Structure 1
């Protein structure tokens, strides 16, 4: 068996140091990131990967939080994107036995975001990591269409990563989200909402070749299959100020079928029940192994070990197990064929 970890995070040296040296927003990377050596220390990261050598374990790298577009004006975020993408490409080139690919990040607040995607694809990027909103703007905003069109044209997937902070309150009477509710429940909601916007904006009809992966096993969607299915089959029955019934008639497929066309990953923090639920919804053809390393309590190996253990505990055919563990990643990310 081989394990390709398709969604985990790392900051290459030049980007990390540039962010620390910044006099602006980029300098405040956050207490969580600074306290996890395996997200910026290459030797620590290599040692973590090597702990799983017996599992034939490798990684597809992507940057960690926060989203680049939140770190400054376009000129600064364009520079940060180039440093990040070139740094990840260099790691893949230097350590192909540990890092088999990378997801490019874009300066989504820049009108040149699609141009950076083109440049990254030419430099071997296997896909894009986009966050579920761009400084509060939805991904189906017309300004971002060119990014999705570029990904579809190059046959590269978009991986959705949730982005939401405590400044989004849970109640209208308050000014912030308490108790990290914004993360625990807010992030799955963010991802699910972004998926819905791509569906109902007809983005997936306009770009039929576009492939999108929703981080953390498709967020809320598998568990709420009844609402996404029979519930949204009645789109418009609850709304009087917009013609959603007309929109429903314009869609080429049933809403549920669009959501089943997304890809998902196994990064559910070692939850066996969530893994089973997601696999039941998406099927073995659309789920990729991922750990979300290094954000476990052990700061690196924990979620890798736990996720492998969950998959090993499931009754799967060898064919399905191989699809989830590495074959889907090889195919979707064109690993070895960029």
Structure 2
């Protein structure tokens, strides 16, 4: 059985070189991005277990955080073209990639979706972050992006970033809160009501939502509760089968996709083995486990299961 990891990261090397040429010390702000598995494709491929594939998305070195709108858009286009080329040259392990968007240039972002994602054989969706340029991802300025992706049927990969207004950000808990808040913002903005077929894959098993689902049920509306269940989630919580069972119980086992956040989490090559063991320890049938390992992704992406 092939295992498909839907949330694995790289840092396309030509894109990184462009960013460093413009800002030579840029990685000093993000020391975790100096991981060689992000940029050395041969080493990255060698780190994968047999019969494993990865859907690749870039780490959050986002051009809009450093450059003006037109330059940010150009950098995203080039990064997307590079990632598409990596996918096409390595189909055996990288079946698809996820595009970057310049969030300080929404018209260009919409154009990039039309030109580089819609109908692409390599880039199957886009990665958005919980906040962009200080705004919630559900802010009105970004809602045309949700509408465009719903229109073409391409998923969103939702990844956390720190909220820079907070002085005590930390990797253990802050990103899970930011994901939870972004999901709440998306539901509160009525985005699923406007676009019922929209597909959003949330990192880290839906963060706090499964654990606090009854608070949602009794504090928010029935419509909101139903909208929270429309999210898809991955399994990237570094193990913990009981927590994965909670995620499957709330979102539905058909909305849980195997994802690891590799190569991060557990050195030196990431948490794939630990998370795979946790999925196999879930209180679900072997058939459901297989759906999590690959079938749900194949169905979501419109492919036939073997």
Q: Same fold (TM over 0.5)?
A: yes
- Aligned Cα root-mean-square deviation (Å): 1.9
Equivalent of residue 294 in structure 2, options 323, 326, 330? 326
Work out whether residues 59 and 100 of structure 1, in 8 Å CA contact, stay in contact via their aligned partners in 2.
yes
Equivalent of residue 246 in structure 2, options 277, 281, 296? 277
What is the CA distance between 1:276 and its match in structure 2? 2.1
Matched pairs, number: 302
What is the CA distance between 1:90 and its match in structure 2? 0.7
Gaps of 5+ in 2: none
Equivalent of residue 206 in structure 1, options 187, 194, 199? 194
Matches for 1:197-236 after TM superposition, within 5 Å: 197-233=185-221
Work out whether residues 127 and 159 of structure 2, in 8 Å CA contact, stay in contact via their aligned partners in 1.
yes
For residues 296 and 139 of structure 1, do their structure 2 counterparts lie closer, same or farther at Cα, with a shift above 3 Å needed?
A: closer
SS at 2:271 equivalent? helix
TM-score by length of 2: 0.92
Work out whether residues 248 and 256 of structure 2, in 8 Å CA contact, stay in contact via their aligned partners in 1.
yes
Is 1:113 matched with 2:95? no
Give the match for residue 10 of structure 1: 10
Give the match for residue 239 of structure 1: none
Equivalent of residue 150 in structure 2, options 134, 149, 152? 152
SS at 1:264 equivalent? strand
Gaps of 5+ in 1: 170-175, 234-252
Is 1:288 matched with 2:235? no
Work out whether residues 233 and 257 of structure 2, in 8 Å CA contact, stay in contact via their aligned partners in 1.
yes
Work out whether residues 20 and 29 of structure 1, in 8 Å CA contact, stay in contact via their aligned partners in 2.
no
What is the CA distance between 1:27 and its match in structure 2? 5.5
Give the match for residue 95 of structure 2: 100
Larger radius of gyration: 1
Is 1:265 matched with 2:234? yes
Matches for 1:22-37 after TM superposition, within 5 Å: 22-23=22-23, 26=26, 28=28, 30-34=30-34, 36-37=35-36
Give the match for residue 256 of structure 1: 225
Task: Output the CA distance in 1 between the equivalents of 2:104 and 2:172.
Answer: 26
What is the CA distance between 1:43 and its match in structure 2? 1.3
